[in-house]
Amino acid sequence: MAKNIPIVENILNANDHLAQENRARIESAGVFSINIMASPGAGKTSLIEQTLPRLKDKLRIATVDGDIATSIDSDRAAAAGALASVQINTGGDCHLDAVMLRGALDQLTLSQYDLLIVENVGNLVCPASFKLGTHKSVLIASIPEGDDKPYKYPGMYRGVDVLIINKIDLLPYVNFRMDYFERGVEALNPGITTFPLSCRTGEGMDAWVDWLIQNVQPT
Residue 217 has pLDDT above 90, yes or no: no
Mean pLDDT of 108-134: 94
Residue 4 has pLDDT above 70, yes or no: no
Specify the CATH class of 4-216 in words: alpha beta
Helices and strands counted in the chain (H then E): 8, 7
pLDDT in tens, 152-198: 999 999 989 999 999 999 999 999 999 999 999 999 999 999 999 99
Residue 129 has pLDDT above 90, yes or no: no
pLDDT at 71: 84
Q: Where are the domains of the chain?
A: 4-216
Residue 6 has pLDDT above 70, yes or no: no
Residue 1 has pLDDT above 50, yes or no: no
Mean pLDDT of 119-130: 90
Contacts of 48 (CB under 8 A, 6+ apart): 36, 63, 76, 77, 80, 82, 117, 119
Residue 21 has pLDDT above 90, yes or no: yes
Predicted TM-score (pTM) of this structure: 0.92
**Element of type H or E holding 89:** strand 84-89
Mean pLDDT of 132-142: 97
Q: Are 58 and 213 in contact (CB under 8 A)?
A: yes
Residue 81 has pLDDT above 80, yes or no: yes
Q: How far apart are CA 27 and CA 195, in angstroms?
A: 25
Among the listed residues 90, 164, 166, 163, the one whose alpha carbon sits nearest the alpha carbon of residue 130: 90
Per residue in 124-156, is it b (16+ CB within 10 Å) or e — as a string? bebbbebbbbbbbbbbbbbbebebebbbebbeb
Residue 111 has pLDDT above 60, yes or no: yes
Q: How far apart are CA 149 and CA 141, in angstroms?
A: 8
pLDDT in tens, 36-55: 999 999 999 999 999 999 99
pLDDT at 9: 63
